[in-house]
Structure 1
Amino acid sequence: MLPGYADSITLLFSDVEMPGGTDGFALARHVASTYPWIEIVIASGRIKPEPGDMPDNATFLGKPFSAKLVHDHLRERLPDGKKPEPLRQAG
């Protein structure tokens, strides 16, 4: 799925609902078992995870959420050397 790029990926952010035959929970389980160093954040506004849906190293964000909440959550999950820039508001 990611073999050519996995070494440079530090975080996966996915919705639960995806086109095709898989969903975000299955993607999270695959990534966690194959690429355990990748941080995982799954989001949805309609589906909540049941026990066993997500791997232990994944977190869930329920929608709706603000850009600040996502930004702050990602800053907590990423290693110090990979932190995103501070959030800037247009205006």
Structure 2
Amino acid sequence: MNDRKFEPHIALVVEDDPDVRDLAAALLEETELDVVEVESAEAALEYLQEHGSDVAMIFADIRLAGQMDGVQFAKAACTLWPTIRIVLTSGAAGDRLADLPDCVTFMPKPWRGLDVLVEAEKAMHQPQLPVA
């Protein structure tokens, strides 16, 4: 019997640029993870409210459409879903890097596909440990 449905098996891609979102999703679809795409932190939080226990990885931009940016979203996600591996990315993070929570891995843009796949592999096999 496949126990996959009881383990986190979703990669949530949060990116407001549709081309970048499609590229990240296409990469992550090469893994064992199912991919869900949203364009804002608000949409991501709404999805997590329903499916948070199924999410293994969040791959999000720092700059997003909507009221919340990726750093604010990551802080909320780290608190509410501490075992999800969170990767934030940006080509122009500026002073937001100083605000990153400890639970986040930062990946500068342009990111390499291999780096994204390595993080997905970690998400599947090494769940994030809650920060004490």
- TM-score in terms of structure 2 length: 0.55
> Over aligned residues, Cα RMSD in angstroms?
1.9
Shift of 1:81: 8.2
Greater helix percent: which structure?
Answer: 2
Specify the SS of the correspondent of 2:105: strand
Q: Determine the C-alpha separation between the residues in 1 that align with 2:51 and 2:90.
A: 25
Which residue, 30, 43, 47 being the options, matches 2:89? 43
Q: CA deviation at 1:79?
A: 3.4
Q: Is 1:29 aligned to residue 41 of structure 2? A: no
Separation in 2, partners of 1:35, 1:73: 17
Q: Deviations over 1:16-70 (max 9, x none)?
A: 010011100000000001111111000001114433x222111100011221222
Aligned residues: 80
Q: Give the Cα–Cα distance (whole angstroms) in 1 for the partners of residues 77 and 114 of structure 2.
A: 26
Alpha-carbon contact 2:87-2:104 (below 8 Å) kept: yes
- After TM superposition, the structure 1 = structure 2 runs for residues 41-80 of structure 1, keeping only pairs within 5 Å, are 41-48=87-94, 49-51=96-98, 53-75=99-121, 77-80=122-125
Can you give the 5+ residue segments of structure 1 that lack an aligned partner in the other structure? 83-91
